Amino acid sequence: MTAYLQNAAAPVDQSGTPEVLDVDQLCRAHLPLVHFEVRAISSRLPGHVYTDDLVSAGMAALAMAARSFDPSLGVPFGRYAVRRIRGALLDELRSADWATRSLRAKVRRRDAVHDALAAELGRRPSDVETAAAMGVSTGDLERLDADLHSSVVLRLDVITDTAGADAILPATTQTPEATLIARERTAYLRDAIHTLPERLQSVIRGCFFEDRPMRELADELGVTESRISQMRAEALKLLRDGMNAQLDPDQVSAPSNATGAVARRKAAYYAHIATRTSYRDRLTLTPTDQPTAHTA
């Protein structure tokens, strides 16, 4: 940047008279000044400020400086232009700021009091302490924060550049495809719970539908609490594998012994889930058909 500020002495012709510089040449030669100043000021700005607007304001200021520059004064053009650019950037920021000067002054005072209290107390002061130190009520402090937040205006195009329109305009209803998929998954879950062995069903109903403590379930089934925890883990694994067997068979790990008793019981469990209800019944599931303590 120093080179741009020091190259400003206007070239002179053989007679010693400063030459009249071309506006376009001046702008092109000193264009990096705009980007340098924008980067310098952007480091102190919140993330929602759109820097393209600052670049445009800086370029306009550079062009105006080139048109009004008088090389006979002996002032380097770079030094002259950078003052005009900085002023234009500040004007652009002020025009984009919806907060009034009085509001900004109150916020600065609030921040100064807050920092002083934090240094004195060795911790973050509460709103009550900050308001007392400022000589205002907590309601006034809350209104100050509300006024400050309401003055922040986010640009819609900045959000959509990164998040996409779908992220800020969520659909209010599910698509027909998503509705059918959700119904099918819920129906398989209902059937998988209903097809569990009776004691595992009792544990699942008690833990997840009736919110009963493990001690109560242990007393009812005549086992220890640790055994109830084991039964719950066993039931959840069966439910997961049973649903995956219907919806995504690749997620079900192959048994180490395909002809063993455990593998046969699991295969029978998967088959019972598949045949308990028809495809049409699963897709016509209504909210009243959701798995509950009574229907599970």
Angular region, 159: left φ>0, alpha ψ -120 to 50, beta rest: alpha
Contact 33, 82 (CB under 8 A): yes
| Residue 200 confidence (pLDDT) | 93
pTM for the complete prediction? 0.40
Judge if 142 and 193 occupy the same domain: no
Tell me, yes or no, whether 158 lies in a domain. no
Asked whether residue 263 falls in the same domain as residue 239, the answer is: yes
Within-domain flag for 254: yes
Residue whose C-alpha is closest to residue 291's, from 200, 192, 158, 217? 192
* Residue 158: predicted pLDDT: 44
| In-domain check, residue 44 | yes
Question: Which of left, alpha, beta for 175 (phi over 0: left; psi -120 to 50: alpha)?
Answer: beta
Q: Which is more confident, 88 or 51? A: 88
Q: Is residue 261 part of a domain?
A: yes
| 185 and 285 co-located in one domain | yes
**Average pLDDT of the residues in 125-131:** 87
Is 143 part of a structural domain of the chain?
Answer: yes
Decide which of 192 and 291 is more confident.
192
Q: Are 47 and 86 part of one and the same domain?
A: yes
Residues 205 and 237 in one domain: yes
Q: How many domains does the chain have?
A: 3
| CATH number of the domain to which 114 belongs | 1.10.10
Q: Are residues 251 and 192 in the same domain?
A: yes
Domain boundary residue among 67, 96, 125? 96
Tell me which of 145 and 209 has the higher pLDDT. 209
Chosen domain end from 151, 166, 185: 151
Same structural domain, 34 and 137: no
My answer on whether 261 and 192 are in the same domain is: yes
Do 129 and 40 share a structural domain?
Answer: no
- Over 90: is that where the pLDDT of 222 sits? yes
Q: Do residue 198 and residue 264 come from a single domain?
A: yes
Tell me which range, 2-16, 115-129, 134-148, 196-210, is most confidently predicted by mean pLDDT: 196-210
**Mean pLDDT for the stretch of residues 144-155:** 61
Using CA atoms in the order 264, 267, 269, 275, what is the torsion angle rounded to 10 degrees? -130
**Which residue did the predictor score with more confidence, 285 or 82?**
82
Same domain, 188 and 273: yes
Residue 230: the pLDDT is 92
Residue-range definition of the domain harbouring residue 130: 101-151
Position 103 scores a pLDDT of 72
Q: Say if 156 falls within a structural domain.
A: no
Question: What pLDDT does residue 291 have?
Answer: 53
User: Which pLDDT band, with edges at 50, 70 and 90, does 96 fall under?
Assistant: low
CATH number of the domain enclosing 26: 1.10.1740.10
